Amino acid sequence: MTRIDDTFANLNGKAAFIAYVMAGDPDFDTSLEIVKGLPAAGVDVIELGLPFTDPMADGPAIQRAANRALEAGMTLNRTLELARRFREQDSTTPIVLMGYYNPIYSMGVPVFLEAAKEAGIDGLIVVDLPPEEDDELCIPANEAGLNFIRLATPTTDDKRLPAVLSNTSGFVYYVSITGITGAAEASAEAVAPEVARIKAQTDLPVCVGFGIKTPERAKAIASIADGSVVGSAIVSMIGAGESPADVLAFVKSLADGTHAA
């Protein structure tokens, strides 16, 4: 059992609220302050973005966040240090590192997995590694005790779905819209049959992200899924220069909406 497994097991019927922030945005200290405040704001699982120069699924808000973090000197090692600093005060809230394979490959998979475990990372979402490449990172991560969380999308048909679910652990992340993050609003009516289709083939929780920007939308999605994920709306507030207190107040409103479903 990982911290992610424990979290979903202890929600007592509530949906999970998962918040995404970019590590090091707009700088290390401000980012750490925000991340440290997420659990008290009601966040059940933290998605910590790994800054990367050439994203493939990120919309403009998250791309700008990555650029701000990189300009502030953020690296994979610094991202793990941020997680390590968070763990000094919180030993229970799961952290999922979300990003791309290139920085992990450059560090070396065995070295990375050891460092990630030591830093308190619980799971990985690596969007540019398909199931056909499971030997690269997914299987070694699972063997090291890290959950490897896969994305399913509206274009993941019944023929493809078993491959996506193979070796996936922790939860399944359903991308509610086609396209990049922050591009459109998610519709619970459209998402519900897709969540049901995935849940018919797995016992894992199914959480929905992309296109959730308000507490009302988070509540609607949480009513038909095991969790809602918000990233771009939070990152946009950070990018606008809002204070950590205001960012965390907004996060709390999203968490409250999700938990009220």
Which residues are the active-site residues?
A: 47, 58
The answer to whether 181 and 59 are in contact (CB under 8 A) is yes
The bridge status of strand 206-209 relative to strand 147-148 is unpaired
The answer to whether 228 and 42 are in contact (CB under 8 A) is no
Q: Omega into 26 within 30° of 0, i.e. cis?
A: yes
The answer to whether 227 and 44 are in contact (CB under 8 A) is yes
Q: How many CB atoms lie within 10 A of CB 43?
A: 27
Distance, in Å, from the CA atom of 77 to the CA atom of 83, rounded to the nearest integer, reads 10
The bridge status of strand 151-152 relative to strand 172-175 is parallel
Write out the two tokens for 228.
Answer: 């809602």
